[in-house]
Structure 1
């Protein structure tokens, strides 16, 4: 009897374990079964993107090694001109007063500023911002390899805030233009000399393309990026992950002077056009109609965007006036190009060759008219617009 009671707890324990395992097996979810009793395959979830094609990039050092040598630091010097009365040059006066002259009459020191630039031709041509070298008495370019050279101004284009300068050095690295294929979401790198600390690389994405009507330049077609851009980055390169030049950094939106993640670069296509025009003609040649346009109005986001722009004024004896365009006319098309905004019209007309005719479709008093206008050449004008270039 004692042996029977000795084995009984173990038998009961084994029965409980077997029962528990059988219950668990019964509770497992079964694969879905089709109505005809055929076992259906498990659901397969496909990824939204093909991650094997992205390469899993964890470093952009290869792109930086290609592009960084072609990005230069630019130092400019401008002599501060202050009023000086002949009396203050008199030896007796200076002997009595010494150097205790009023501050506004002292001989001013040199004012230094800094920026960046991009070598775009092996024979020494460099693209930078016009506001970097404007009114400079001396321009010194410092290369990535440690060499320095004084640069001369070849040509400027204030309307796009671009300038071309040249240095006389050999064996120069060149950054190639990438004229198309840049899309929102693409990773980009900004290379420049922020705050004069030395060449720096920051990373971000293309936040938007075709930004215009910002009041920064006369001709606007900006790439917007969140790559950190700060004072000293002006004229520096915005590159893709392959090391191609997709833009020249020019301006930021900032309330403090530092980066807030909203920076603007001039696209490579515009940079190349300005470079070629300056090298060919010594200036940028653009088409011109001789009209002013109504400012961009805020529209309800729920309303469909209307095409066309309204003429605010017409210059007497200008190309548009000679063709019969009047104040209040709505320009719908130029040739076969449908006009969507003021900047669109300005940029499109600028690309037309002067003295060539274009067909302009307008709307006047709810009637459509087609007029032929012989495009004129736009003269460079000094702009009084307030904008925020990258402070130097």
Structure 2
């Protein structure tokens, strides 16, 4: 009896502890009830499969074996008279669009406008007095904050998943003009276009992409901030198209070694690798090798932060640009012009990813030497820049990312290809010397072939 009483007491204590713990959990049901009516299911015919665009970092098969003539996605009602926000890839090339409301009604929809660069589309159905989502502010989100998603993964409508904000301000190669919210909320094909919701019941983002090697959720989900989405919606409703600002530079990250090479105290800002002729930047006097640290009063901590800032700037605006040039701060005035369609292929503030060379025998990935680095280190010609390296012979021998290699066993290195071939021909175990140019001066390093 005593044992049973003790067990009962233990169970009561456990139950109380569980109830206390549960009482401290977020009130997910209230958040869902507040927003579920504004979430709709979207099916299309005649377009491409939604899955292939949802997991944009890797290709995948058509979901549920539906083929290319049917796509499932999610949308969000943003007005009582039937305007719906969703992803562009959900309705791309669709011949017919059918929207299923939370009350089970099914209505045809038409595309008011779409914007491929942000992957957003605005739809319209003919209906009135519809439930509308409550919109919040993504900029108020904090990393670690709880968020929910409502959508139709694999066609299972009104599915709710929860997680936290993993990071803010993420840039993806496919859309440099969007500063994404990264979460660990489970998102799968069919969730695209659905809302990301905070615990106040406010929509803070539109779920758009996952990073996946399988076509399904792998812990990385990306949502478009609601501020970006609403700006696109307003432009689509007003003009039928989206206008973006253009500065006319290509930028790259300022690594620690590049910061040292350019005499920058800390590796922050966007390093200008190209200035396009007759662009706003060129007219203002921006040069290759400048480091952009502030744009229109806002700090540019990372190179990926610049394109969304430029794109969101009203065309025709005069803005102040703060640069670091030859270790001195400089300010210039720039008049932002409109990003043209042809600029999407390269004339953007984010350089498109260049094809990377394979790692060579000693674990180095080499690249041609930029002119500005050549001038800075007083190297007239030739050489090979260490773009990256893995934990191999080179790294263990003291080589670093950003090193400029100019001599191999006393002979000039005329190009990255030449050095790769020389290394490949070395007998196993043989020693060799590389002359490394750094801001601190030249130095030889001795290594041994693997």
Common fold by TM > 0.5: yes
Matching residue within 65, 72, 77 for 2:33: 65
In structure 1, the gaps of 5 or more residues are 1-50, 81-108, 387-392
CA RMSD of aligned residues (A): 2.7
CA displacement, residues 162-187 of structure 1 (integer Å, 9 cap, x when unaligned): 11111111121100111143222222
State how 1:219-298 maps to structure 2 within 5 Å.
219-294=177-252, 296=253
Query: Match for residue 352 of structure 1?
Result: 313
Assess if the C-alpha contact under 8 Å between 2:176 and 2:308 holds in 1.
Answer: no
Change (3 A) 1:348 1:110: closer
1:363 matched residue in structure 2: 324
Kept in 2: contact 1:307–1:338 (CA 8 A): no
Per-residue CA deviations over 1:230-262 (Å, capped at 9, x if unaligned) read 011000111123321111111111111111221
Q: Name the CA shift for 1:175/1:297 in 2 (closer, same or farther; >3 Å).
A: same
Q: Partners in 2 of 1:112 and 1:160 — Cα distance? A: 23
User: What are the ranges of 5 or more consecutive residues in structure 2 without an aligned counterpart?
Assistant: 1-18, 49-66, 347-351, 354-450
Q: 1:318 to 1:250 in 2, by over 3 A?
A: same
Residue among 37, 45, 51 paired with 1:77? 45
3-state DSSP of counterpart to 2:126: coil
Larger radius of gyration: 1
**Residue 383 to residue 114, structure 1, CA distance change in 2 (3 Å):** farther
Aligned equivalents of 2:255 and 2:221: distance in 1? Answer: 22
Which stretch of the first structure deviates more once superposed, 166-175 or 329-338?
Answer: 329-338
Q: How does 1:287-366 map to 2 (within 5 A)?
A: 287-294=245-252, 296=253, 306-366=267-327
Hey, what's the Cα distance between the residues in 1 that align with 2:268 and 2:255? 14
Residues 62, 281 of structure 1: CA spacing in aligned structure 2 closer, same or farther, 3 A cutoff?
same
Q: TM-score, normalised by structure 1?
A: 0.71
Aligned residue pairs total: 304
Q: What displacement does 1:297 show?
A: 6.0
- CA separation in 2, counterparts of 1:337 and 1:203? 32
* Alpha-carbon distance between aligned partners in 1 of 2:28 and 2:329, rounded to the nearest angstrom: 54
Residue pair 1:355, 1:374 contacting (<8 A) in 2 also: yes
Aligned mates of 1:331, 1:157 — CA distance in 2: 28
Aligned to 1:177: 135
Residues 123 and 137 of structure 1: CA distance in aligned 2, closer, same or farther (over 3 Å)? same
Helix, strand or coil: the match of 2:237? helix
- RCO greater where, 1 or 2, for CA within 8 Å and sep 6 or more? 1
Q: What TM-score, normalized to structure 2?
A: 0.62
Q: What SS does structure 2 have at the residue aligned with 1:63?
A: helix
Give the Å deviation of 1:54. 9.8
CA distance in 2, matches of 1:129, 1:79: 13
